[in-house]
Amino acid sequence: MKVNVNGEQQDYRTVWMEGSEVCMIDQPKLPHRFEIYRSKDYRETTDAIKNMIVRGAPAIGATAAYGMVQAALEFSGNDMEEFSNLIHEAAATLTSARPTAYDLFHAVDEIESKLRKAKSVSEALELARKAAKEYADKSAERCKKIGEAGEKFIKENSRILTHCNAGALACVDYGTALSPIRLAKYNGKEPFVFVDETRPRCQGSRLTSWELIQEEIDHSIIVDNAAGHFMQKGEIDIVIVGADRIAKNGDIANKIGTYEKAVLAKENGIPFYVAAPESTFDRRCATGADIAIEERGEDEVLSMFGIDENGNPVSIKISPGNSKARNPAFDVTPAKYITGIITENGILTYSHD
C-alpha cells in the first residue's frame, strides 16, 4: 500500500512481524496521524483486534496468525503437551476478540493445525513463524487476484459506491472491494468512488478516503443515507463492498448498512458485488441467519470522535445523557441481492430459486 509519510511515498503492509512484536498501522489514529502500533504478546494482539487498532476480516486473520507466533515464543520448556495447551489457550483468547469475522477463526485454525504436526517445541517455533508469514503473504496475493478478477466489471469513468473500508487497511495489502478499483486506476480507467461515511466509527470517511487520497483516486464522501438518492438520480453505476463472513448459501455479513445498500441497488437495477477471499467463506454456516452478529458499545453511537483545532483527539457527546443506543457492527445481506462474489478464484453466483 502506498503511504505518504512526511511528504515521502513509502510502501507499507497493514500488519507484519518484527522479532516478537506484531506491528500494525494504528487505524483509530487515521486519517490525522500515521503511527505504528506494536503489540508485545498475543494478549496485546488480542486487545488490538478487539479495540479495532487493526480491523477488516483479512487483516484480523493475519494479525491473529502472528499472535499465534507470539504465543509459541512465550514457551520456554520442551514438553509438547504443555506447549499444545498454551497454544490452544492462545487460540481461544485470540478468537474471542471479535465473533463475526471468519478470517480470524480460519487463520488461528490453520496455524494451530500446522503446529500440531511438530515433533518438538523447536520445530514448532520454526513452523509457527513460517506458517504465519506464508498466511500473510497468501492473503495479500489473494487480494491482488481479487482485483484482477473484479477490475473487468469497472468501465471507463465508472462511478462506484463502496461501504465501510474494504481496502488495504482491512487486509494485508491491496484490499478486497478497493482492489478492483486500484487496478482500474492503474489501467487508466479513472474510476470515481462514492464513499459512504459508515457510521458509527466512520471507516469510510476516515479510512477509505485516506486510501483513495494515497492512490490519487477521485472520490466524494457521502452520508450513509445519501446512497439511495444518488442511485435514484443515476449517478452510481456499480456497488462493490467487502465481507466479514460468507455463509454456504451465499448470504454475507458485512458492516452495518450493507444490507440496505444491497436492497437499494436491486431496486435501482445497479449491480451489487461482494469482494472477499475464500478464507472468508464459512462452509459450516448454512445461511446468514447462523452468523453471530457482534454488538459493540453504546458510546460509539452516542458520541462522535475527531480532533480539535490543536490536533488532539477528542470525543464529543451528541445525544441526551439519558439516551441508550443499540450498536450492531454488522448486518446480513441475503444472496438474492448479490450480483456476484468476487474471489481470488473468479466470480461466484448463487441460485435464488
DSSP string for 168-179: GGGSSSS-STHH
Residues forming beta bridges with residue 39, ordered by sequence position: 22
H/E segment holding residue 184: helix 178-186
Cβ atoms of residues 80 and 54 within 8 Å:
no
| pTM confidence score | 0.95
pLDDT score at 308: 85
pLDDT score at 353: 57
Residue 310 phi, psi (nearest 5): -100, 5
Q: Span 139-159, mean pLDDT?
A: 97
Residue 73 has pLDDT above 60, yes or no: yes
Q: How confident is the model at residue 170 (pLDDT cuts 50, 70, 90)?
A: very high
Residue 208: closest CA among 216, 197, 224: 197
> pLDDT per residue over 173-194, tens digit each?
999 999 999 999 999 999 999 9
> pLDDT per residue over 221-251, tens digit each?
999 999 999 999 999 999 999 999 999 999 9
pLDDT score at 5: 79
Q: Span 64-76, mean pLDDT?
A: 95
Q: Kindly list the catalytic residues.
A: 244
pLDDT score at 49: 98
Q: How confident is the model at residue 296 (pLDDT cuts 50, 70, 90)?
A: very high
Q: Span 275-281, mean pLDDT?
A: 96
CA 21 to chain centre: 21
Q: Please, what are the domains in the chain?
A: 2-145 (1.20.120.420), 148-348 (3.40.50.10470)
pLDDT score at 307: 85
Beta carbons within 10 angstroms of residue 5's beta carbon: 9
Q: How many helices (H) and strands (E) does the chain have?
A: 11, 17
Residue 206 has pLDDT above 90, yes or no: yes
Residue 196: closest CA among 242, 168, 164: 164
C-alpha span between 225 and 231 (Å, rounded): 11
Q: Which 3 state secondary structure label does DSSP give 325?
A: coil
User: In the structure grid, which three cell numbers stand for residue 179, read together?
Assistant: 482492489
pLDDT score at 313: 82
Residue 4 has pLDDT above 90, yes or no: no
User: In the structure grid, which three cell numbers stand for residue 37, read together?
Assistant: 502500533
Return the residue matching grid coordinates 488532539.
312
Q: How confident is the model at residue 321 (pLDDT cuts 50, 70, 90)?
A: confident
Mean pLDDT for the chain overall: 95
Q: Span 273-289, mean pLDDT?
A: 96
Residue 162: closest CA among 48, 86, 273: 273
C-alpha span between 191 and 156 (Å, rounded): 7
C-alpha span between 305 and 197 (Å, rounded): 13
CA 139 to chain centre: 12
Residue 171: closest CA among 109, 242, 235, 117: 242
Q: Span 322-347, mean pLDDT?
A: 97
Q: Span 156-168, mean pLDDT?
A: 98
CA 65 to chain centre: 15
Beta carbons within 10 angstroms of residue 103's beta carbon: 29
